[in-house]
Amino acid sequence: MGFLDSILGRSKPKAANLDALFMVPSAAITLQTTLGLAPTGDGSVCYRAAAGAGFDRTQTDVLALLRDAADAPEVDVSSDSFGFTWLQVHRDAEDTSGLCTDLHAVNTGLEAEGFGPALLCSLVPFADPSGRRVGLVYLYKQGTFYPFAPAPGRGQQRDNLLEIQVRDALAAELPVEREMSRWLAIWGAPGL
């Protein structure tokens, strides 16, 4: 940060720490033992697709990287009503480590080609036998996680109690977003 930036009150945005995704398998054990929430085997990365051949090539390369692996996961790409692209990975529910490795590869692949600013978040969903679902959301631009729990059968309402329980259970394990105004609702996210 330069002298002029400090005088004008500008600050550098916090850099993403994509390696934080590798903390999720440990957090998954905590969620399972404390709240009965198990990984679903799904995960996704949300980004704003750029127009042009460079982005198309990068996305094709990322998809090929995932699909050509020896233990290749199932991969889907979809768009939501807000114009964001969701690259969803499906693995066995027991393979949270492999899932997080896949999500990390997608994020780093896009970032390495200069599309880091287009990344919004990564999502790892969890569910319990009663039907409660919660997504552990990694905010790329903040380098932090937060829980998002849609309330089952209540339209676009959140299960705030579950979100707080997840936050408290994982506070010692993950960099949790303390600013609750950044806990964005991601209605219709794949896997939730």
CB contact burial 143-182 (16+ within 10 A = b; e otherwise): bbbbbbbbeeeeeeebbeebbebbbebbeebbbbbeeeee
Domain membership of residue 158 as a residue range: 14-182
Question: Does any domain span residue 81?
Answer: yes
Question: Does any domain span residue 7?
Answer: no
Q: 51-65, 98-112, 120-134, 169-183: which range is least confident on average?
A: 51-65
Question: Does any domain span residue 5?
Answer: no
Residue 147 confidence (pLDDT) above 90: yes
The whole-number pLDDT of residue 119 equals 93
pLDDT digits over 83-120, tens only?
A: 899 999 999 999 999 999 999 999 999 998 888 899 99
Question: Does any domain span residue 161?
Answer: yes
**Into how many domains does the chain fold?**
1
Tokens of 85: 């692209």
Question: Does any domain span residue 178?
Answer: yes
Question: Does any domain span residue 191?
Answer: no
CB atoms within 10 A of CB 17: 13
Rounded-to-integer distance, Cα 104 and Cα 62, Å: 11
Higher pLDDT, 19 or 88: 88
The pTM of the full predicted model, rounded to 2 decimals, is: 0.87
Q: What angle do CA 114, 97, 43 make, to 5 degrees?
A: 60
Contacts of 136 (CB under 8 A, 6+ apart): 24, 27, 31, 123, 124, 125, 126, 145, 147, 166, 170, 174
Question: Does any domain span residue 107?
Answer: yes
The whole-number pLDDT of residue 85 equals 93
